[in-house]
Amino acid sequence: MKKIALEEHFMSPGLDEYWRPTMADVPKPIYDGIRARLTDFGELRLKEMDDAGIELAILGVAGPGVQVEPDARRATFKAAEANDFLAAEIAKRPEHYLGFAHIALQDPNAAAAELDRCVRQLGFKGAMINGQTLGHYLDERQFDPFWAKAEELGAPIYLHPADPVQMYQSFGAYKELQRATWGWGVETGTHALRMVFGGVFDRFPKALLLLGHLGETLPFMLWRLDSRAKLYGVKLKREPSDYVRDNIAVTISGMFSKEPVECSLAALGKSRVMFSADFPFESISEAGHFMDRVEMDEDTRADIAWRNAARILKIDMK
């Protein structure tokens, strides 16, 4: 079945300095292989996409990008530079690639302007945000101009995992619990809940947040979120689960297993679950073959594989 993949990464020349330190403990042969795939837009990437049945990939910067840059002006400049680079690559193969904007949130007004430029002028389909920006999270009121622009444009914001400001003390000596095993899910799910409980979706009811990994466990937690919100007297216009269902959509990136897919479909509905592979950090072949073979009715399979993404990102699939 044809597929649209939403969490597919690339690296532009000016962003290596931010990404390289995150790979310091990765053996050089593995590092070199990942970097080769991140910087490739030709035969290597396209062959893997074709083998997995992926017709279209939405490309986003491999984190953390400029979100760790302390100089706001430099971050804004380098984000625009990365977006121009991606636009040039997309123009070479528009039948295969679309883009998510890279955004410097250090200056929220400039971030809103860059999102506007990327959507209106470059044809990007939204933005990918790599976790917290210098310790600041997207529920903070300083980011309201950015959310207002995203809502105005109808531009989904993909919240991609990144490291917290400090690693959790509770992990202790268990380094293997950090990052993709558990830590990124905790951090990204918490970030999304800050937006729910912080009233972002009350202020911007048409804003749409995208989460990978089938929603970072949130579909599993909906009843408890509502129950505890009542217990603690949380003042929102609706129940937390309503915002998760209405303002959040999820992808299957890095969660190629039947049981969490079924939970997400039951909790969110089949219109809110989409395909992704997480190239090059997950096996694109495993992702594609899982989508083709997992037990479900064929109408739901098509919704997840490409229909929902085409509708949500306003993509004309001819």
Residues with catalytic function: 278
Do the Cβ atoms of 45 and 284 come closer than 8 Å? no
Q: What is 10-28 written as a DSSP string?
A: E--GGGHHHHGGGGTTS-H
Half-sphere exposure of 131 (CA within 13 A, CB side): 22
Question: In sequence order, what are the residues at sequence separation of 6 or more whose Cβ sits closer than 8 angstroms to the Cβ of residue 280?
Answer: 9, 33, 34, 37, 38
CB 12 within 8 A of CB 62: no
Q: How distant, in Å, are the alpha carbons of 30, 137, 226, 267 from that of 165? A: 26, 11, 28, 31
Nearest to 50 by CA among 90, 5, 99, 6: 5
HSE-CB at 114 with a 13 A cutoff on CA atoms is: 25
